Structure 1
Amino acid sequence: RDIYSVGEAEYKRTLSELVELLDIKDIIKTPARQLSLGQRMRCEIAASLIHSPKTLFLDEPTIGLDAVSKLAVRKFIKSINKSRGTTVILTTHDMQDIEAITDRIILIGRGRILLDGPLYELKGKGSEGKTIVIEYSGGGLPEIEGLTAVEDSGSHAKIAVDTALISVSEAIAAISSSVEIIDLSVSGQTVEELVASLYREFRI
Structure 2
Amino acid sequence: MYAIEVEKLRKEFKSYSSRSGLAGAFRDLFTRNYKIIRAVDDISFAVKQGETVGYIGENGAGKSTTIKMLTGILTPTSGRVVVNGMNPHKERERFVQTIGVVFGQRSQLWWDIAVQESFRLLKKVYRVSDQDYNEHMDHVIETLDIGPLLDKPVRKLSLGQRMRCELAAALIHNPPLLFLDEPTIGLDVLVKLKIRQFLKEINEKYNTTILLTTHDMTDIEALCERVIMLDEGKIIYDGSLQHLKQNWGEGKQIHFQFRDLVSKEELTSLVHVTWEQGEDRYSWIAHVRANDMAHVIGKVVSSYELKDIHIREVSTEEIIRNIYEEGIHHG
TM-score, normalised on structure 2? 0.50
Contact 2:254/2:311 (<8 A) preserved: yes
Cα distance in structure 1, aligned partners of 2:216 and 2:255? 20
Q: 1:153 to 1:62 in 2, by over 3 A?
A: farther
Question: What is the CA distance between 1:40 and its match in structure 2?
Answer: 0.7
How does 1:30-49 map onto structure 2 within 5 Å?
30-49=152-171
Q: Does 1:147 align with 2:147?
A: no
How many angstroms does 1:46 deviate by? 0.1
Structure 1 residue 95 displacement after superposition: 0.9
Let me know the Cα RMSD of the aligned residues. 3.5
Mapped contact 1:80–1:86 kept (Cα < 8 A)? yes
Deviations 1:35-92 (A, max 9, x none): 1111110000000000111110011111111110010011011111110111010101
What corresponds to 1:131 in structure 2? 253
Report the Cα offset of residue 120 of structure 1. 1.3
Indicate conservation of the 8 Å contact 1:131/1:158, yes or no: no
1:106 deviates by 0.6
Please state how far the C-alpha of 1:165 moved relative to its aligned partner.
Answer: 10
Going from structure 1 to structure 2, the CA distance change for 1:153 and 1:82 (only over 3 Å counts) comes to same
Partner SS for 1:76: helix
Q: Which residue identity does 1:3 align to in structure 2?
A: V
Does 1:24 pair with 2:146? yes
1:2 alignment partner, SS class: helix
Aligned match for 2:195, one of 51, 73, 81: 73
Query: Is 1:56–1:87's contact at 8 Å kept on the other side of the alignment?
Result: yes
Number of the residue aligned with 1:161: 287
Amino acid at match of 1:146: T
Moved more, 98-107 or 190-199: 190-199
Secondary structure at the counterpart of residue 131 of structure 1: strand
- Aligned partner of 1:63 among 177, 185, 189: 185
- Superposed, which structure 2 residues align to 1:47-126 within 5 Å? 47-126=169-248
Residue by residue, what CA displacement relative to the aligned partner does 1:114-151 show, whole Å, maximum 9, x if unpaired? Answer: 1111221111213533224689xxxxx969771357xx
- Cα distance in 2, alignment partners of residues 87 and 161 from structure 1: 36
2:91 corresponding residue in structure 1: none
Judged with a 3 Å threshold, the aligned counterparts in structure 2 of structure 1 residues 171 and 154 are, in CA distance, closer, same or farther, namely: farther
Higher relative contact order (CA 8 A, sep 6+): 2
Q: Does 1:196 align with 2:321?
A: yes
Rg bigger for which structure?
2
The 1:71–1:199 alpha-carbon spacing in structure 2 relative to 1, beyond 3 Å, is same
2:118 corresponds to: none
Inter-CA distance 161–19: structure 2 relative to 1 (3 Å threshold): same
The answer for unaligned runs of 5 or more in structure 2 is 1-122, 258-262
Distance 1:154 1:112 in 2: 39
Quickly say closer, same or farther: Cα 1:171–1:80, change in 2 above 3 A. farther
- Number of paired residues? 194
Q: Percent identity?
A: 40
Distance 1:67 1:158 in 2: 32
